[in-house]
Structure 1
């Protein structure tokens, strides 16, 4: 089962924890706000992306199981 990434950019405060922990999936744009580099998490990368989500102080990244 795939996991989708949802970014709530209006919540982002630009801490950058996500990009440090999971650079394959997250980066910061020119304004310093989170962007997803992929729409879904590849099998085997769940722990890395979940850790990045947990480290976000603004709760700006959500993960959802694909339907």
Structure 2
């Protein structure tokens, strides 16, 4: 379905601040001063709905995250 959004969840306590997600999807992921992953658009949220145009980079980030701190709807 065109324009469908995908749910993405982050688990900050699993994050090891390796920087991969921010490198792959800087428009989606950032880090707190303590080095924990957060959403750029909703820094206090643990889940976010991702527009179709950004889903590929979120999936790539989740697959490459060494600590499995990023999940998306297919893996929730």
Offset of residue 4 of structure 1: 1.3
Q: Size of the alignment, in residue pairs?
A: 65
Map residues 22-61 of structure 1 onto 2, 5 A cutoff: 22-38=25-41, 39-61=48-70
Structure 2 residues not aligned, in runs of 5+? 42-47
Moved more, 38-47 or 6-15: 38-47
Query: Counterpart of 1:46 in 2: which secondary structure?
Result: helix
TM-score by length of 1: 0.85
Q: Would you tell me which structure has more helix in proportion to its own residues?
A: 2
CA RMSD of superposed structures (Å) = 1.3
* 15-24 vs 41-50, greater mean Cα deviation: 41-50
Question: Structure 1: which 5+ residue stretches go unaligned?
Answer: none
Q: How far apart in 1 are the matches of 2:69 and 2:10?
A: 6
* Larger RCO, structure (CA 8 Å, separation 6 or more): 1
Instruction: Return the TM-score normalized by structure 2.
Output: 0.77
